[in-house]
Amino acid sequence: MSGTGGEMETRSPYASGPFDPAEDGAEMEFDGRMSYGDYLNLNRILTAQNPLSEAHDEMLFIIQHQTSELWMKLAIHELAAAKGRIAADDLQPAFKMLTRVSRIFEQLTGAWQVLRTMTPSEYTLFRGDLGQSSGFQSHQYRAIEFLAGNKNAAMMRPHAHVPRVHHWLDQIRRDTSIYDEAIRLLARSGLPIDEAHLARDISQPYERNDSVARAWLEVYRDPHRHWPLYDLAEKLVDFEDYFRRWRFNHVTTVERIIGFKRGTGGTSGVMYLRRMLEVVLFPELWEIRADM
Protein backbone atom coordinates (compact mmCIF):
# COMPACT_ATOMS: atom_id res chain seq x y z
CA MET A 1 0.00 0.00 0.00
CA SER A 2 1.15 3.53 -0.64
CA GLY A 3 2.33 5.70 2.23
CA THR A 4 2.72 9.44 2.39
CA GLY A 5 4.87 10.98 -0.26
CA GLY A 6 4.23 8.04 -2.57
CA GLU A 7 6.56 5.75 -0.61
CA MET A 8 5.70 2.05 -0.27
CA GLU A 9 4.80 1.01 3.28
CA THR A 10 5.98 -2.52 4.06
CA ARG A 11 4.84 -4.75 6.87
CA SER A 12 6.72 -7.81 8.06
CA PRO A 13 4.74 -11.06 7.80
CA TYR A 14 6.44 -12.17 11.00
CA ALA A 15 5.03 -11.35 14.43
CA SER A 16 7.17 -9.10 16.58
CA GLY A 17 7.21 -8.59 20.30
CA PRO A 18 5.91 -10.90 23.05
CA PHE A 19 2.60 -12.65 22.66
CA ASP A 20 0.33 -13.72 25.49
CA PRO A 21 -1.27 -17.10 24.56
CA ALA A 22 -4.19 -16.22 26.85
CA GLU A 23 -5.28 -13.71 24.20
CA ASP A 24 -5.76 -16.71 21.91
CA GLY A 25 -7.82 -18.53 24.52
CA ALA A 26 -5.04 -20.69 26.00
CA GLU A 27 -5.51 -21.92 29.56
CA MET A 28 -2.72 -20.43 31.68
CA GLU A 29 -3.67 -21.19 35.32
CA PHE A 30 -3.60 -24.75 36.68
CA ASP A 31 -4.07 -24.50 40.41
CA GLY A 32 -6.15 -27.56 41.25
CA ARG A 33 -6.63 -28.40 37.55
CA MET A 34 -5.08 -31.07 35.36
CA SER A 35 -2.13 -29.88 33.30
CA TYR A 36 -0.10 -31.59 30.57
CA GLY A 37 2.54 -32.65 33.08
CA ASP A 38 -0.10 -33.98 35.47
CA TYR A 39 -1.81 -36.10 32.82
CA LEU A 40 1.45 -37.64 31.60
CA ASN A 41 2.91 -38.03 35.09
CA LEU A 42 6.01 -36.25 33.81
CA ASN A 43 7.44 -35.64 37.26
CA ARG A 44 7.92 -39.40 37.77
CA ILE A 45 9.10 -40.01 34.22
CA LEU A 46 11.63 -37.17 34.05
CA THR A 47 13.11 -37.90 37.47
CA ALA A 48 13.66 -41.59 36.68
CA GLN A 49 17.05 -40.99 35.04
CA ASN A 50 19.68 -41.49 37.73
CA PRO A 51 23.17 -42.03 36.30
CA LEU A 52 25.58 -43.90 38.57
CA SER A 53 28.69 -42.30 37.12
CA GLU A 54 29.92 -38.91 35.99
CA ALA A 55 30.13 -40.11 32.37
CA HIS A 56 28.29 -37.78 30.00
CA ASP A 57 26.95 -40.63 27.82
CA GLU A 58 25.30 -42.59 30.61
CA MET A 59 22.24 -40.34 30.31
CA LEU A 60 21.92 -41.37 26.64
CA PHE A 61 22.23 -45.04 27.61
CA ILE A 62 19.53 -44.79 30.29
CA ILE A 63 17.04 -42.84 28.16
CA GLN A 64 17.59 -45.15 25.17
CA HIS A 65 16.58 -48.16 27.24
CA GLN A 66 13.79 -46.48 29.19
CA THR A 67 12.09 -45.21 26.03
CA SER A 68 12.49 -48.65 24.43
CA GLU A 69 10.69 -50.16 27.40
CA LEU A 70 7.85 -47.67 26.98
CA TRP A 71 7.47 -48.60 23.31
CA MET A 72 7.55 -52.30 24.27
CA LYS A 73 4.78 -51.68 26.79
CA LEU A 74 2.64 -50.33 23.94
CA ALA A 75 3.60 -53.28 21.71
CA ILE A 76 2.43 -55.71 24.42
CA HIS A 77 -0.82 -53.75 24.78
CA GLU A 78 -1.46 -53.98 21.03
CA LEU A 79 -0.37 -57.61 20.57
CA ALA A 80 -2.54 -58.84 23.46
CA ALA A 81 -5.53 -56.93 22.10
CA ALA A 82 -4.95 -58.18 18.54
CA LYS A 83 -4.76 -61.75 19.83
CA GLY A 84 -8.13 -61.33 21.52
CA ARG A 85 -9.69 -59.86 18.37
CA ILE A 86 -8.44 -62.76 16.24
CA ALA A 87 -9.86 -65.23 18.76
CA ALA A 88 -13.22 -63.45 18.44
CA ASP A 89 -13.12 -63.45 14.59
CA ASP A 90 -13.01 -59.64 14.67
CA LEU A 91 -10.16 -59.16 12.22
CA GLN A 92 -10.35 -55.53 11.10
CA PRO A 93 -9.33 -54.08 14.49
CA ALA A 94 -6.63 -56.77 14.75
CA PHE A 95 -5.16 -55.63 11.42
CA LYS A 96 -4.91 -52.06 12.71
CA MET A 97 -3.27 -53.21 15.93
CA LEU A 98 -0.72 -55.39 14.13
CA THR A 99 0.12 -52.55 11.76
CA ARG A 100 0.75 -50.36 14.80
CA VAL A 101 3.05 -52.99 16.32
CA SER A 102 5.11 -53.02 13.10
CA ARG A 103 5.42 -49.24 13.26
CA ILE A 104 6.48 -49.49 16.92
CA PHE A 105 9.35 -51.77 15.95
CA GLU A 106 10.25 -49.44 13.12
CA GLN A 107 10.52 -46.71 15.76
CA LEU A 108 12.61 -48.95 18.01
CA THR A 109 14.92 -49.82 15.11
CA GLY A 110 15.52 -46.14 14.36
CA ALA A 111 16.41 -45.50 18.00
CA TRP A 112 19.58 -47.59 17.66
CA GLN A 113 20.93 -44.80 15.43
CA VAL A 114 21.02 -42.51 18.46
CA LEU A 115 22.82 -45.04 20.67
CA ARG A 116 25.40 -45.60 17.93
CA THR A 117 26.66 -42.06 18.47
CA MET A 118 28.29 -43.42 21.64
CA THR A 119 31.81 -44.73 21.05
CA PRO A 120 33.50 -47.72 22.77
CA SER A 121 35.71 -45.42 24.84
CA GLU A 122 32.65 -43.45 26.04
CA TYR A 123 30.77 -46.62 27.03
CA THR A 124 33.80 -47.93 28.92
CA LEU A 125 33.59 -44.95 31.28
CA PHE A 126 30.38 -46.26 32.90
CA ARG A 127 29.99 -49.90 31.82
CA GLY A 128 31.33 -51.14 35.13
CA ASP A 129 28.53 -49.31 36.95
CA LEU A 130 25.89 -51.48 35.26
CA GLY A 131 26.79 -54.47 37.44
CA GLN A 132 25.04 -57.57 36.10
CA SER A 133 22.14 -55.63 34.57
CA SER A 134 21.50 -56.31 30.89
CA GLY A 135 18.79 -55.87 28.27
CA PHE A 136 18.72 -59.68 28.24
CA GLN A 137 16.74 -59.35 31.48
CA SER A 138 13.92 -57.21 30.03
CA HIS A 139 10.69 -58.90 31.11
CA GLN A 140 8.71 -56.89 28.56
CA TYR A 141 10.88 -58.17 25.71
CA ARG A 142 10.26 -61.68 27.03
CA ALA A 143 6.51 -61.01 27.07
CA ILE A 144 6.61 -59.95 23.41
CA GLU A 145 8.43 -63.16 22.48
CA PHE A 146 5.92 -65.25 24.44
CA LEU A 147 2.97 -63.45 22.84
CA ALA A 148 4.48 -64.18 19.42
CA GLY A 149 5.02 -67.88 20.24
CA ASN A 150 8.72 -68.08 21.11
CA LYS A 151 8.15 -69.61 24.54
CA ASN A 152 11.22 -70.77 26.42
CA ALA A 153 10.55 -71.46 30.10
CA ALA A 154 14.26 -71.14 30.89
CA MET A 155 14.07 -67.44 29.99
CA MET A 156 11.80 -66.83 33.00
CA ARG A 157 14.52 -67.57 35.55
CA PRO A 158 16.03 -64.05 35.54
CA HIS A 159 12.63 -62.82 36.81
CA ALA A 160 12.17 -65.29 39.68
CA HIS A 161 13.23 -62.62 42.20
CA VAL A 162 10.14 -60.53 41.30
CA PRO A 163 7.15 -62.86 41.91
CA ARG A 164 4.61 -60.49 40.33
CA VAL A 165 6.57 -60.28 37.08
CA HIS A 166 7.36 -64.01 37.08
CA HIS A 167 3.67 -64.89 37.51
CA TRP A 168 2.64 -62.46 34.75
CA LEU A 169 5.14 -63.96 32.31
CA ASP A 170 4.08 -67.49 33.22
CA GLN A 171 0.45 -66.61 32.48
CA ILE A 172 1.43 -65.32 29.03
CA ARG A 173 3.56 -68.42 28.40
CA ARG A 174 0.70 -70.77 29.27
CA ASP A 175 -1.86 -68.88 27.18
CA THR A 176 -2.23 -68.92 23.40
CA SER A 177 0.16 -66.87 21.31
CA ILE A 178 -1.04 -64.63 18.52
CA TYR A 179 0.12 -67.30 16.04
CA ASP A 180 -1.82 -70.00 17.91
CA GLU A 181 -4.94 -67.89 17.45
CA ALA A 182 -4.19 -67.39 13.76
CA ILE A 183 -3.88 -71.16 13.29
CA ARG A 184 -7.12 -71.77 15.17
CA LEU A 185 -8.73 -69.24 12.85
CA LEU A 186 -7.48 -71.26 9.86
CA ALA A 187 -9.25 -74.30 11.29
CA ARG A 188 -12.47 -72.39 12.00
CA SER A 189 -12.39 -71.15 8.41
CA GLY A 190 -12.56 -74.71 7.11
CA LEU A 191 -8.88 -75.31 6.33
CA PRO A 192 -7.68 -78.71 7.57
CA ILE A 193 -5.32 -78.45 10.54
CA ASP A 194 -4.11 -81.56 12.37
CA GLU A 195 -6.11 -82.09 15.55
CA ALA A 196 -2.96 -83.05 17.41
CA HIS A 197 -1.40 -79.72 16.48
CA LEU A 198 -4.45 -77.79 17.66
CA ALA A 199 -4.36 -79.72 20.95
CA ARG A 200 -0.59 -79.31 21.49
CA ASP A 201 0.88 -77.91 24.70
CA ILE A 202 0.77 -74.18 23.98
CA SER A 203 3.19 -73.40 26.83
CA GLN A 204 6.01 -74.89 24.75
CA PRO A 205 7.94 -73.18 21.92
CA TYR A 206 6.10 -73.31 18.62
CA GLU A 207 7.24 -75.92 16.08
CA ARG A 208 6.30 -75.84 12.40
CA ASN A 209 3.62 -78.18 11.17
CA ASP A 210 2.87 -79.60 7.71
CA SER A 211 -0.88 -79.07 7.93
CA VAL A 212 -0.38 -75.41 8.86
CA ALA A 213 2.02 -74.96 5.95
CA ARG A 214 -0.52 -76.50 3.56
CA ALA A 215 -3.30 -74.29 4.89
CA TRP A 216 -1.28 -71.08 4.46
CA LEU A 217 -0.22 -72.22 0.99
CA GLU A 218 -3.88 -72.61 0.01
CA VAL A 219 -4.57 -69.10 1.33
CA TYR A 220 -1.74 -67.62 -0.73
CA ARG A 221 -2.66 -69.50 -3.88
CA ASP A 222 -6.19 -68.11 -3.79
CA PRO A 223 -6.01 -64.80 -1.86
CA HIS A 224 -9.33 -63.47 -3.18
CA ARG A 225 -11.18 -66.45 -1.75
CA HIS A 226 -9.36 -66.20 1.58
CA TRP A 227 -8.74 -62.46 1.72
CA PRO A 228 -9.11 -61.91 5.51
CA LEU A 229 -6.70 -64.81 6.21
CA TYR A 230 -4.35 -63.56 3.49
CA ASP A 231 -4.39 -60.07 5.01
CA LEU A 232 -3.77 -61.49 8.48
CA ALA A 233 -0.83 -63.53 7.20
CA GLU A 234 0.79 -60.47 5.66
CA LYS A 235 0.27 -58.45 8.84
CA LEU A 236 2.03 -61.20 10.83
CA VAL A 237 4.90 -61.33 8.33
CA ASP A 238 5.18 -57.55 8.47
CA PHE A 239 5.43 -57.67 12.26
CA GLU A 240 8.13 -60.34 12.19
CA ASP A 241 9.99 -58.48 9.45
CA TYR A 242 10.26 -55.33 11.59
CA PHE A 243 11.00 -57.41 14.71
CA ARG A 244 13.93 -59.03 12.90
CA ARG A 245 15.25 -55.67 11.76
CA TRP A 246 15.18 -54.43 15.35
CA ARG A 247 17.09 -57.48 16.59
CA PHE A 248 19.62 -57.20 13.73
CA ASN A 249 20.27 -53.54 14.51
CA HIS A 250 20.67 -54.48 18.15
CA VAL A 251 23.43 -56.93 17.20
CA THR A 252 25.30 -54.45 15.01
CA THR A 253 25.01 -51.69 17.62
CA VAL A 254 26.40 -53.94 20.36
CA GLU A 255 29.23 -55.13 18.10
CA ARG A 256 30.06 -51.54 17.19
CA ILE A 257 30.30 -50.49 20.85
CA ILE A 258 31.75 -53.52 22.72
CA GLY A 259 32.93 -55.85 19.95
CA PHE A 260 32.99 -59.48 21.09
CA LYS A 261 33.24 -58.87 24.84
CA ARG A 262 30.90 -60.81 27.09
CA GLY A 263 27.67 -59.03 27.96
CA THR A 264 27.19 -57.43 31.37
CA GLY A 265 24.49 -60.03 32.06
CA GLY A 266 26.94 -62.89 31.47
CA THR A 267 25.96 -63.93 27.93
CA SER A 268 28.47 -64.22 25.12
CA GLY A 269 27.29 -60.82 23.92
CA VAL A 270 27.27 -60.47 20.15
CA MET A 271 27.45 -64.24 19.60
CA TYR A 272 24.37 -64.74 21.80
CA LEU A 273 22.48 -62.02 19.95
CA ARG A 274 23.43 -63.51 16.58
CA ARG A 275 22.00 -66.83 17.70
CA MET A 276 18.72 -65.10 18.54
CA LEU A 277 18.54 -63.87 14.92
CA GLU A 278 17.99 -67.48 13.85
CA VAL A 279 14.67 -67.71 15.72
CA VAL A 280 11.69 -67.66 13.33
CA LEU A 281 8.34 -66.79 14.89
CA PHE A 282 5.99 -67.84 12.09
CA PRO A 283 7.95 -70.49 10.13
CA GLU A 284 5.22 -71.69 7.77
CA LEU A 285 4.48 -68.15 6.61
CA TRP A 286 8.08 -67.72 5.51
CA GLU A 287 8.69 -71.16 3.98
CA ILE A 288 5.63 -71.15 1.71
CA ARG A 289 7.17 -68.32 -0.31
CA ALA A 290 9.46 -70.89 -1.88
CA ASP A 291 6.46 -73.10 -2.69
CA MET A 292 4.39 -70.54 -4.56
Is 139 annotated to bind ligand? no
Is 65 annotated to bind ligand? yes
Is 61 annotated to bind ligand? yes
pLDDT of residue 231: 98
pLDDT of residue 11: 67
pLDDT of residue 232: 98
Residues of the chain with pLDDT under 50: 1-2
Rounded distance between C-alpha atoms, residue 64 and residue 186, angstroms: 39
pTM of the predicted model as reported, rounded to 2 decimal places: 0.88
Return the amino acid letter for 201: D
Is 63 annotated to bind ligand? yes
pLDDT of residue 89: 98
Q: Which fold has domain 57-128+135-290?
A: Methane Monooxygenase Hydroxylase; Chain G, domain 1 (1.20.58)
Q: What is the residue-averaged pLDDT of the chain?
A: 90
Is 126 annotated to bind ligand? no
**Do residues 98 and 148 lie in contact, with contact meaning Cβ atoms separated by under 8 Å?**
no
pLDDT of residue 164: 97
Is 64 annotated to bind ligand? yes
End-to-end CA distance of the chain: 71
Q: SS3 sequence, the chain?
A: CECHHHCECCCCCCCCCCCCHHHHCCCCCCCCCCCHHHHHCHHHHHCCCCCCCCCCCHHHHHHHHHHHHHHHHHHHHHHHHHHHHHHCCCHHHHHHHHHHHHHHHHHHHHHHHHHCCCCHHHHHHHHHHHCCCCHHHCHHHHHHHHHHCCCCHHHHHHHCCCHHHHHHHHHHHHCCCHHHHHHHHHHHCCCCCCHHHHCCCCCCCCCCCHHHHHHHHHHHHCCCCCHHHHHHHHHHHHHHHHHHHHHHHHHHHHHHHHCCCCCCCCCCCHHHHHHHCCCCCCHHHHHHHHCC
Is 85 annotated to bind ligand? no
Nearest to 222 by CA among 198, 200, 189, 245: 189
